[in-house]
Structure 1
């Protein structure tokens, strides 16, 4: 599961601005400002710092890599166990508004591939909740535990559900069998009667 960045997407900009934990693999002169607890001008080897994802990715993909990327706490084993057990009880909006999108970026740094499996499993478990929220009239309480992307999908589904409902209520163009299907059925019936 990989994620391509979208330069013009506001949501992608917000996702890549999320801070993730990294460990610096080399001394970096004049970069001490990246560590808020440091009083030195230089950033020392082995320093653990949370930096924005866009910066972490650019430092990680250099030759040689300058940082190693650690999983954010919401993708670590303790949270993965909770999500795999019952993802519907978790308030993803509080935990991480961009849970799925950030997870797609982070999955590249997960050697075991457990983050990708957790993302898929979480969405599968939460799909029914998203579906019921899209049909609900009490939208505020039903959207509360959803992540940002789940809210967007729920809103789009609600618009579609409303449009379908309005179309069905109009009644000015009732559904009927197409001529091609009707003639096909007549021909099949005639063939069956011959045997």
Structure 2
């Protein structure tokens, strides 16, 4: 996923917490673990930290943490999403499900997170489409994730702009000369045969 430093939604996505296991002792970092009684963070500690911090600690050589998959991308939720993603309230499950999944997918050894994201979006596309044309948009938008809501809103605005343009009648659509001439030539060729 392409980082966008100034994007508010990207900041919110990277602020989501991920479970990490610390691979080395970190002096004076005990405050990261709310259950730690010491100032130092011991190797083997499991702590949930923001994604931006985990990425920074993971990218060091040697890595200081191993990033684990959050529960919404583990097998149990994956099975539910693969069975029928339309029944899941993405707003409650994870507002930034797709964006967060793109970041997390590089930590998925099996590579199943990426395929789950694609499959989930394919299943939910019709629901997203109906939400974009729904007159009762509040109910239609409720189970959608933040990115799905943005796409439904953009689609709704585009549809309204198209309807406004079609009803304005400023510009009458006509057949281009090139197309009309092509049809005449085709007709003449068919008559010769």
Deviation beyond 4 Å, 4+ runs, structure 1: none
**Stretches of structure 1 lacking an aligned partner (at least 5 in a row):** none
After TM superposition, the structure 1 = structure 2 runs for residues 1-195 of structure 1, keeping only pairs within 5 Å, are 3-195=1-193
Tell me the TM-score normalised to structure 2 length: 0.98
CA distance in 2: counterparts of 1:60 and 1:152, whole angstroms: 31
- TM-fit CA distance, 1:175: 2.1
Q: Per-residue displacement from partner, 1:34-76 (whole Å, max 9, x unpaired)?
A: 0011110000010000000000001011110100000001000
Tell me the TM-score normalised to structure 1 length: 0.97
SS of corresponding position for 1:57:
helix
CA distance in 1: counterparts of 2:135 and 2:164, whole angstroms: 15
**Stretches of structure 2 lacking an aligned partner (at least 5 in a row):** none
- TM-fit CA distance, 1:172: 3.4
CA distance in 2: counterparts of 1:174 and 1:144, whole angstroms: 39
- TM-fit CA distance, 1:173: 2.3
CA distance in 2: counterparts of 1:178 and 1:163, whole angstroms: 24
Count of residues in Structure 1 that have an aligned counterpart in Structure 2: 193
- Larger mean CA deviation between 13-22 and 183-192 belongs to 183-192
Q: Per-residue displacement from partner, 1:62-105 (whole Å, max 9, x unpaired)?
A: 11010000000100000000000000000000110000000000
